[in-house]
Every structure is written in C-alpha cells, then in structure tokens.
Amino acid sequence: DAKTTQPTSMDCAEGRAANLPCNHSTISGNEYVYWYRQIHSQGPQYIIHGLKNNETNEMASLIITEDRKSSTLILPHATLRDTAVYYCIVRVPNAGNMLTFGGGTRLMVKP
C-alpha cells in the first residue's frame, strides 16, 4: 500500500468547512483513497472513498487531484461532534489487503 502523509493536527471553527489534506505521492493506478475517523474511545468509522473522481456522500466530500498524488477530505459544516482523528488510507481493495492505519490528523472543532 502507498504511504500517506497527513498533518498531525488541525483546528476548525464550528460551522465552517474543515479541509483535511493527505499526500500519497507513490499511489499506484489500482489503489483507492479511503478516509476513516475515530472519535475518542470509539471504533473507527468509515467516511468516504474514491479512485480518481471526486466523491460526495452525506458525511463529506473527497477531492482527488488529477495526478492522484494528493487528496482532501472536506467536512462542509463542521460540528463539535466532528472532533476526531481522521485517517487517510491508500490501498488496493483486494481480499487479502487489509486497512493500514497511520497516525492520522487530529481535528479539533472549536465553538
């Protein structure tokens, strides 16, 4: 799986958009970009994933650059409940290829 680089921490004001970047410059053509988050003491929660097109669901949007070397997770209107550690993971979604969690970005949403 390609290595990812994320900032250690970020702050965001409540109600504003939170933009979380992820670099994955060694990504290969068949690897997807996944985002999970972990709210304190809970199990990780799936957010969104994509291959090369931008994706949007009820939780977030995922913007992947044209060269696929980086991506941004966007929480359009951050709330205090979005305070969590956000993990960017790049992998081939095959049967024997498991999720590998790195350090992630600790997002603090402030009132």
Smallest distance, Å, CB 16 to another protein? 27
Smallest distance, Å, CB 101 to another protein? 4
Question: Is 17 or 85 the residue whose CB approaches another protein more closely?
Answer: 85
Question: Is 16 or 56 the residue whose CB approaches another protein more closely?
Answer: 56
Question: Per the structure block, which two tokens stand in for 35?
Answer: 């985002």
Backbone angles phi, psi at 6, to 5 degrees: -130, 150
Smallest distance, Å, CB 43 to another protein? 3
The span from the CA of 73 to the CA of 52, in Å, is 14
59 Cβ contact partners less than 8 Å away, ≥ 6 residues apart: 47, 48, 75
CA dihedral 34, 40, 43, 48 (to 10 degrees): -20
Smallest distance, Å, CB 63 to another protein? 19
The footprint of another protein (CB under 8 A) covers 41-46, 49, 87, 93-104
Question: Is 76 or 102 the residue whose CB approaches another protein more closely?
Answer: 102
